[in-house]
Amino acid sequence: MLERGAAKKLVIYVKEREKYHGEPMYEAVVRFLHRHKCAGATVTKAVAGYGASGEMHTAHLFHLAEDVPMRIEAIDSEQKITALLPFLYEMVRSGLIEVQETEVIKYTTHETEEEHLLKHEKLEGHAKMLRIYIGEDDRWEGEPLHEAIVKKLRMMDIAGATVYRGVMGYGAQQRLHKPGWLGLSTDLPVMISIVDAEEKIRSVLPVLDEMVDEGLVVLSDVEIIKYTHTEEKQNPESRIQNPE
């Protein structure tokens, strides 16, 4: 299974009408990638382009196209892409093949409920608690900073995060913040609390260093006593034993 981290992106450009053993080249390439269990492949059709011949190709009205370029893109580990390249080189006689560095941020597949629960059961024993203290009015790329941080934590597969909105407080600049007239806040304090394995918490620190310009980030040791998830209520009918 494709994992998060460094990977390779394979991009192949062929002509729409080009054939390989009687079938469209782009279909043959995708079948080859599928047969060799490449993580995934996508074919897109260009609306215009030109290649080594310098001849311009465009898609005409009602999709009556000339020989427009087809782009095949696949992502997998460096080992897998490197192993497939010699065979693809033989298949694609005219066109363009390129390999690019990339990074897998998220790769998900359908999993059973049992598999999902087993993943979270690993979070037990000694762990780290990270607390982030910022202001309610702080922003990151146009949105509230606390929302941006939670989205980033979720993307990084952190087990969970909770945002607490303060009713009063002050920070490094010694300015007192409290609710104003009719509940209108004056940059009230916000705390974000997360708990996860030390390795995952440590991976978050460089990201927070970039996002939090003014605030406080603290790290402490904790021991997880219990970590549970609310399971879907079982259908009463499913508990009825089959008489057979």
- 232: pLDDT confidence band, cut at 50, 70 and 90? very low
- By three-state DSSP, how is residue 23 classified? strand
Query: What tokens does 213 get?
Result: 């310009």
Q: What is the mean pLDDT of residues 145-160?
A: 89
Lowest-pLDDT choice from 39-48, 82-91, 171-180, 219-228: 171-180
Is a pLDDT exceeding 70 seen at residue 47?
no
Note the pLDDT tens digit of each residue in 189-229. 888 999 998 999 999 999 999 999 888 899 998 888 766 65
Q: Which of 8-17, 24-33, 147-156, 234-243 has the lowest mean pLDDT?
A: 234-243
pLDDT, greater one: 45 or 125 = 45
User: What is the C-alpha to C-alpha distance for residues 128 and 144, in angstroms, rounded to an integer?
Assistant: 25
Q: pTM of the full predicted structure? A: 0.52
C-alpha 81/C-alpha 6 separation (Å) is 13
Q: How far apart are CA 12 and CA 140, in angstroms?
A: 37
Query: Mean pLDDT, the chain, as a whole number?
Result: 76
pLDDT tens, position by position, 87-125: 999 999 888 899 999 888 766 655 555 554 445 445 567
Q: What is the pLDDT of residue 69?
A: 82
